[in-house]
Amino acid sequence: MVPMPFRITRVIREIPGVYTWHLKPLDGKPFHYRPGQFNMVYQFGVGEIPVSISGDSREPDTLVHTIRAVGPVTNAMQELHAGAVVGIRGPFGRPWPIDEVVGSDIVFVTSTIGLAPLRGLIYEVLHRRQDFGKVIICYGTRGVDDIMYEQDLHRWRARFDTNVHLTVHSAPSGYRGRVGSVNAAIRAARPDWSATTAFVCRSEALTRQAVDTLGELGVTKDRVWVTLERNMQCAIGLCGHCQIGTTFVCKDGPVYRYDQIEHLYSVREF
């Protein structure tokens, strides 16, 4: 697939080392995708990286990507400004299974930039709010300066039908918010755990902790969905860079039901 040219229309500096692009296709055609999918983002003359889509899928005229500067390509991309043109290949991958969980209470569990792959799903759940029971967002960061998407969090907290449990590991004197772990925030939530579906986006180690906590509360592993991030290049399951065991994250994922991939956590390269 040849990269399609998109123009950056807005750059938002979210937290140190993390930035969000709003992009428009040069051909003016809507870009359709589903929450949970990803694109391959190409900076001409520099390189290409996989990035989850973090916008609202009901607004196909604007594509949104949140990127963390952690390597040569993403650091180069960090220097781009509104007006620059980049290439987009996609969308790729398995989306979040929103239609499969209609009627459930929904709990989102995430940390810092892990909110980016879940953001589009949160938008969609709130668009379809009548289709679900309680909606609870458990979001944790290291400190107050690491909180992503503060305007979204403020809007979600202001809704009467959505509960946001925001927690930080450490805070300055006088901070009035919750201080503690995400697992403590999960325990503070009050859904019907026997009828809850959880969507989790954290590091592998923290995901396992969250799954254990959810299990203690009554959420079985077949009702937990996670997203895996792996080095992807071809995005269609041919090159093998994202292969873990027998699964290709770019093609079979990045969204998985936890009980179906739990065994992968013991794979050495995981």
Instruction: Go through the domains of the chain in sequence order and give each one's CATH number.
Output: 4-92 (2.40.30.10), 98-227 (3.40.50.80)
What's the CA gap between 157 and 150, in Å, rounded? Answer: 10
Instruction: Give the per-residue pLDDT at 216.
Output: 97
Residue 51 has pLDDT above 70, yes or no: yes
Model pLDDT for residues 102-145, shown as the tens digit of each residue: 999 999 999 999 999 999 999 999 999 999 999 999 999 999 99
What's the CA gap between 106 and 193, in Å, rounded? Answer: 10
Q: Which residues pair with 68 in a beta bridge?
A: 18
201 is in an annotated binding site: no
Confidence bin at 236 (pLDDT 50/70/90) = low
Mean pLDDT, the chain, rounded, equals: 92
Highest mean pLDDT among 27-31, 201-205, 247-251, 265-269 belongs to 27-31
Residue 234 has pLDDT above 90, yes or no: no
Instruction: Give the per-residue pLDDT at 266.
Output: 64
Model pLDDT for residues 168-205, shown as the tens digit of each residue: 999 888 888 899 999 999 999 999 999 999 999 998 88
Whole-prediction pTM: 0.93
